[in-house]
Amino acid sequence: MGKKNKYDSKEAGLAISLAMGRFFLKAEDLHYGYWTDDLEVDVSNFVKAQEKYTEFLIENIPENIKTILDVGGGAGMTTRRLSDKGFKVDCLTPSPDLAKEARSKQGKEVEVFECKFEDLVTEKKYDLILFSESFQYIPVKFSIPQALKHLNDNGYILICDFFKTDAPGKSALSGGHNLNKFYNTITGYPLEKIKDIDITDKTAPNMKIVDNFINQVAKPLWEIAFKFFDMNYPFSFNLLKKFNRKKIKKTEEKFFEGRLNPEEFKKYKSYRLMLLKKG
């Protein structure tokens, strides 16, 4: 028998996030919310903030764009909204679960590519390639050349994602390419920077929602589980803790020490919308 493919942890995490968001928040999107001044930062407004994020994306699509490839399109909601606006859109996601979700939301005219962006093989070319919180998962050495390959002449790359800053120390929130290194890298490609908008202040409030969830739900459940297994299965549980001491410590340091908050996010991350034009 052939070697069975592994279920990528990022893909599993996104599928779980979709299921939880759908159940608890009635949310179909997987991206951050965009918190305008008139929107109170509260979990009850999270879906509204996500809708504002999508509106912000669409507002920054240049005129005369007809065809779009939505890279890392998640469950397909952004793809559908773009289609509803009159764009001809295809969607790409490497997750079989999310690809199934995306297909269920689209018409037959939308092609859903079930692969990594760097593995995409198609003769199609697009006026704009969109990376909405997907750019961080793809090495720049693959993402930019592949995007240029599948763009029409004078086409655009639209990136809306967070990058790492050069702040000293280490963030509890992983992910993101280094911003300054990215700037240096794209100078080597035939790209003109049309827009570079810093929206960190509008996205950092999402971490308040995360922090509240950790303190009010995740941490109490973690402590209850430890107490339950310690009191009912002390021998087995002590063995488990002994052989997983480092993993347990790392998890507690990352999630339960108050480091996933807006201030830390603004220190270590720079969330930006970038519009690059193919020269």
* pLDDT at residue 187 greater than cutoff 70: yes
Q: Give the least confident one: 33-37, 55-59, 95-99.
A: 95-99
pLDDT band at 1 (very low <50, low <70, confident <90, very high): very low
* pLDDT at residue 28 greater than cutoff 80: no
Q: What is the pLDDT of residue 21?
A: 57
How far is residue 255's CA from residue 226's CA, in Å, rounded to a whole number?
A: 16
Most confident region among 169-173, 190-194, 246-250 by mean pLDDT:
190-194
pLDDT band at 4 (very low <50, low <70, confident <90, very high): very low
Please indicate, yes or no, if residue 2 is contained in any of the structural domains. no
- Do 96 and 225 share a domain, yes or no? no
| Across 156-183, average pLDDT | 95
- Do 14 and 109 share a domain, yes or no? yes
CATH classification of the domain holding 14: 3.40.50.150
Please indicate, yes or no, if residue 82 is contained in any of the structural domains. yes
Strand-pair category, 126-132 with 67-71: parallel
Please indicate, yes or no, if residue 65 is contained in any of the structural domains. yes
Number of folded domains in the chain? 2
Please indicate, yes or no, if residue 154 is contained in any of the structural domains. yes
Range of the domain at 235: 206-255
- Do 84 and 186 share a domain, yes or no? yes
- Do 107 and 153 share a domain, yes or no? yes
- Do 71 and 104 share a domain, yes or no? yes
Q: What is the pLDDT of residue 17?
A: 55
Q: How many CB atoms lie within 10 A of CB 87?
A: 20
Please indicate, yes or no, if residue 89 is contained in any of the structural domains. yes
Please indicate, yes or no, if residue 80 is contained in any of the structural domains. yes
How distant is the alpha carbon of residue 153 from its chain centre? Answer: 28
- Do 143 and 181 share a domain, yes or no? yes
List, as one string, the DSSP characters of 58-112. HHTSPTT--EEEEET-TTSHHHHHHHHTT-EEEEE-S-HHHHHHHHHHS-TT--E
Q: What is the pLDDT of residue 30?
A: 63
pTM of the model: 0.88
pLDDT band at 247 (very low <50, low <70, confident <90, very high): very high
- Do 110 and 90 share a domain, yes or no? yes
- Do 105 and 143 share a domain, yes or no? yes
- Do 60 and 184 share a domain, yes or no? yes
- Do 48 and 97 share a domain, yes or no? yes
* pLDDT at residue 192 greater than cutoff 90: yes
pLDDT band at 8 (very low <50, low <70, confident <90, very high): low
* CB-based contact 125:152 (threshold 8 Å): yes
* pLDDT at residue 59 greater than cutoff 60: yes
Please indicate, yes or no, if residue 261 is contained in any of the structural domains. no
Please indicate, yes or no, if residue 37 is contained in any of the structural domains. yes
* pLDDT at residue 108 greater than cutoff 70: yes
- Do 111 and 243 share a domain, yes or no? no
Of 193 and 105, more confident: 193
- Do 251 and 161 share a domain, yes or no? no
